[in-house]
A = this chain, B = another copy of it.
Amino acid sequence: MRVETMKLISKRELIPSLYELVCEGDLVSEIVMSGQFVDIKVPRADLVLRRPISICSVDKEKKQMTLIIRASGNGTQSICETKVGDSLDVLGPCGKGFPIDFLKKGQHVLLIGGGIGIPPLFELAKQLSLNGLKLTFVFGFQSKNQIFYQNEFEALGDVFISTDDGSHGIKGSVETILNSDHFNEEADAIYACGPKGLNRMVNHRYSKHPHAYISLEERMACGIGACAACVCDKDDRSGTNLKVCEDGPVFKCGEVIV
């Protein structure tokens, strides 16, 4: 973990207000798991909290990482206005990512994502694919014009898409897909990241699965386990909690209450 002035190498608007940023710096060499995130300083003096953003993909040789950011509020907006060639102040890598060591070649993996929760699954999918695993993606979007990275994921496995308004794929949510008769839900590992509703559903649905994981979001201050802002309660009646930034953002399904 370090704080680094990283250089913005390229920027692309994938769909309106959704940007793909490629950053370069030594921090990249410290990334050990897909699903880890970075905490980016907003280049505005009046915004004091960093913004946590998942690492979407990593190129260790070039010391580059790709982030996909939705410019939703003032902070992400300002980060996405950074010009190519300028720098970003990045803290990371933070947190613990998706465990994959237990998987063996040829096994089947289910990856479930919703909207802006999809980016952290990309590096994971690349690694799993390299390891010879069979991948099925189930992705939910609001509507057709919100879909991004479809080709990228189709190159790695089967992609099933739902949209809230039915403008592409199946009308409904990822749950609609998972529940459909022909869908093969059997998997040696399940990984998910999405909005709260999706995470809650997956957390519940696969709480007995030996290798099902979700990546959570929570409002953060320090991003490194020092302030206890970002906790989620453990689902073991202990009354204790875990820190999303340090113990997560990836948790085993059933481990915490979403």
The residues of A with any CB-CB pair to B shorter than 8 Å are 44-46
Contacts and interface: CB of A to CB of B under 8 A. Distances in A.
A-side interface mostly: loop
A45 B45 CA distance: 7
Top 6 A-B residue pairs of the complex, sorted by shortest distance between their CB atoms: A46-B46, A45-B46, A44-B45, A45-B45, A44-B46, A44-B44
Contacts of A46: 44-46
Nearest to A78: B45
Nearest to A74: B45
A5 to B, nearest CB: 17
6 contacts: A44-B44, A44-B45, A44-B46, A45-B45, A45-B46, A46-B46
A45 B44 CA distance: 7
A45 B74 CA distance: 11
A208 B174 CA distance: 86
